[in-house]
Amino acid sequence: VKAIRRLARLAPAAVLPLPLAGCAGWQSALDPHGPGAAALARLIWIFTGVSVVVWVLVMIALALAVGSRRALPPPGDPLAVDPGHDRRAALVITFAIGVTFIILLVLTGLSYSAQKTITEPQPNELSIRVTGYQWWWDVRYEDADASRTFTTANEIHVPVGRPVRLTLGATDVIHSFWVPNLTGKMDLVPGRQNELRLTADRAGVYRGQCSEYCGYQHAHMGILVVADPPEEFEAWRNRQIAAAEAPADPLRQKGMELFLSRPCVVCHSVRGTPAGSRGGPDLTHVGSRRSIAAGMLPTNRGTLAAWIADPQGIKPGSKMPTMELQADEINAIAAYLEGLK
Ligand SMILES: [Cu+2]
């Protein structure tokens, strides 16, 4: 019994750090790595702090009132007024309304200024168009020079320190783009263009998630934002702009032939080959991405083969059908795709 009692006493100490531990990490609004997220985190803390203070004050007032031993007025005429009491009550109520009004005014001002930090256009923005699909992200880098535009999927690279403007759209249902370490969330609505801005202060990989329920695989609609130092970003962009290299070894050559002769070309693009469809993620440099299937699996030959063999087993309901392929065909296609760096 003693041991249990001691455990019970320790339990709160063990549980308390858990919610706090949830505040750090690579998908947390309370661990900001950019000015947008920082403005929001500040807002969250201020709102929480003010609410806590108000709550504590109200509770103290309530406790004082309940515990007050002041005698009730003697029973008499219930309509008799006590002008002194009425004046005091009016004063307290006016004061409380005034304070509430000022607090609301200040909080509104603060959230307006945070909103401004998040949405205001910045000079020298990098422009990226993100389109939500069930259940993956199409990512198009725009440039005044058309030869420098290109498409990729599910992984956005940005240069550290440079402001980014995201133009958000969707083709099927409403999705929502949310990378909490970098900025607030914004919906992707079919037939509409929304804008969201972010700047990454530090290099790193930030995970995001679709945050508007969009169907069966909504929970498996992740996105990565990779913030690279500017030179690394330029190198990455130049590699992405380039078409896929033709494979040199026989296995990968066979994989490419199979890829181009199977239903894959109905939905996928590999720039530099005849495959040019837009129904699924662009695969031109799929081997260079950290994950496939919108963050579900790390990219390697094994996971690529597993995905091609049975996408419906891995991500039931996804818009890629399970196709009839032989094991050696799957192996060759996986080798081909893995090499598309
Ligand atoms: Cu979604």
Residue 200 half-sphere exposure, CB side, CA atoms within 13 Å? Answer: 24
pLDDT, mean over the chain: 91
pLDDT bucket at 81, cuts 50 / 70 / 90: confident
Q: If we measure between CA atoms, which residue out of 56, 215, 202, 63 comes closest to residue 136? A: 215
Q: How far is the CA of 279 from the centre of ligand 1 (A)?
A: 16
Q: How far is the CA of 293 from the centre of ligand 1 (A)?
A: 13
Residues 45 and 31: their CA atoms lie apart, in Å, by 12
DSSP collapsed to 3 states, 130-168: EEEECCEEEEEECCCCHHHCEEEECEEEEECCCCEEEEE
Q: How far is the CA of 63 from the centre of ligand 1 (A)?
A: 48
Q: How far is the CA of 29 from the centre of ligand 1 (A)?
A: 19
Q: How far is the CA of 213 from the centre of ligand 1 (A)?
A: 6
CA–CA distance from 279 to each of 19, 78, 187, 217, 269 (Å)?
Answer: 41, 77, 21, 17, 9
Longest dimension (CA), the chain: 104
Residues 119 and 80: their CA atoms lie apart, in Å, by 59
Residue 304: both structure tokens together? 């690529």
Q: How far is the CA of 299 from the centre of ligand 1 (A)?
A: 21
Q: How far is the CA of 155 from the centre of ligand 1 (A)?
A: 15
Q: How far is the CA of 73 from the centre of ligand 1 (A)?
A: 63
Those residues whose beta carbon sits under 5 angstroms from the ion ligand 1 are 175, 210, 214, 221
Residues 252 and 240: their CA atoms lie apart, in Å, by 20
**Burial class of residue 85 in the structure, from the number of CB atoms within 10 Å of its CB (0-12 exposed, 13-18 middle, 19+ buried):** exposed
The amino acid occupying position 329 is E
Q: How far is the CA of 112 from the centre of ligand 1 (A)?
A: 28
Residues 6+ apart with CB under 8 A from 227: 33, 157, 158, 159, 160, 200, 202, 203, 204, 205, 206
- Tell me the pLDDT tens digit for each residue of 231-286: 999 999 999 999 999 999 999 999 999 999 999 999 999 999 999 999 999 999 99
Residue 221: both structure tokens together? 């609609």
Residue of higher predicted confidence among 11 and 82: 82
Q: How far is the CA of 280 from the centre of ligand 1 (A)?
A: 15
Residues in the chain: 341
Q: What angle do CA 287, 217, 281 make, to 5 degrees?
A: 30
Residue 138: both structure tokens together? 């199409």
Q: How far is the CA of 133 from the centre of ligand 1 (A)?
A: 7
Q: How far is the CA of 69 from the centre of ligand 1 (A)?
A: 59
The answer to whether the Cα torsion of 28, 30, 36, 38 is positive or negative is negative
Span 168-185, average pLDDT? 96
Q: How far is the CA of 135 from the centre of ligand 1 (A)?
A: 6
pLDDT bucket at 68, cuts 50 / 70 / 90: confident
